[in-house]
Amino acid sequence: MTEPGPMPASGRRLVLFGPPGSGKGTQAQLLEARTGQHHLATGDILRAERAQGTALGARVGGYMDRGELVPDEVIIAVMAAHLQGLERTGFIFDGFPRTVAQARALDSMLTAIGRPLDGVVVLEVPMGVLETRLLGRAEAEGRSDDTPETVRKRMRIYQEATAPVLDYYSSRLPIVRIDGDRPVSEVLSAVLAATGGITPRPV
């Protein structure tokens, strides 16, 4: 395994961005273990709500199974709750924001707690590789939204609703693009090196 490069400051606040299957969750978990940045993954939060049988889980289940986005107001309320009482100064958002409305809401919430974002890391992976990864995960883990039809829908929704979030951030924050079509350890090294070059914004 390649030894990762420079370690970013644990206090950086990042959005880890990319299409379904690009490795956001994989990399965010590794970054949290290595840097102490808190990993906030909307997909994981919603799946946990479903597993616990909560009202929120019941409300979002259909959207998730169909590969559709959960309505903005629901997701924004969920993330507002998770940002309250956040003790660590550094965090990584994975799967959020996924619409421009969510990005605007996140900016407002982070400004209110005095912890603005420092940058956006985009994992770039060819479409064919993404589909292979997700269909492989379907066989291994049986995630309800990894069927061929639902994967195609998730990709289309990413292009239509989520990719424009990068345009929103382009004039506001540093955006670094990482080739995510490499072994996990190489992607991690590249992310660590790139995020180490992002200057933390004053709080």
Catalytic residue ranges: 24, 98, 137, 143, 154
Q: Is the CB of 96 or the CB of 119 nearer to ligand AP5? A: 96
- Selected binder of ligand AP5 within 12, 32, 37, 67 (CB under 6 A): 67
- Selected binder of ligand AP5 within 4, 9, 26, 61 (CB under 6 A): 26
Question: By CB under 6 A, how many residues form the interface with ligand AP5?
Answer: 31
136 Cβ partners below 8 Å, 6+ apart? Answer: none
Q: How far is CA 7 from the centre of its chain?
A: 20
Q: What is the distance between the alpha carbons of residues 146 and 21, in angstroms, rounded to a whole number?
A: 10
Q: Which residues in 79-138 contact ligand AP5 (CB under 6 A)?
A: 95-96, 98, 102, 133-134, 137
The two structure tokens encoding residue 77 = 């309320």
Q: Give, in order, the Cα–Cα distances in Å from 26 to each of 44, 98, 109, 122.
A: 12, 18, 26, 14
Report if residue 187 touches ligand AP5, rule: CB under 6 A: yes
Q: What is the distance between the alpha carbons of residues 136 and 176, in angstroms, rounded to a whole number?
A: 28
Query: What's the min distance (Å) between Cβ of 28 and ligand AP5?
Result: 8
Q: How many CB atoms lie within 10 A of CB 54?
A: 12
Task: Kindly indicate which of the ranges 30-38, 63-71, 113-121, 164-172 contains the residues binding ligand AP5, using the contact rule CB under 6 A.
Answer: 63-71
Q: What is the distance between the alpha carbons of residues 203 and 89, in angstroms, rounded to a whole number?
A: 10
Where along the sequence are the contacts to ligand AP5 (CB under 6 A)? 18, 20-26, 42-43, 46, 63-64, 67-70, 75, 95-96, 98, 102, 133-134, 137, 145, 154, 180, 183-184, 187
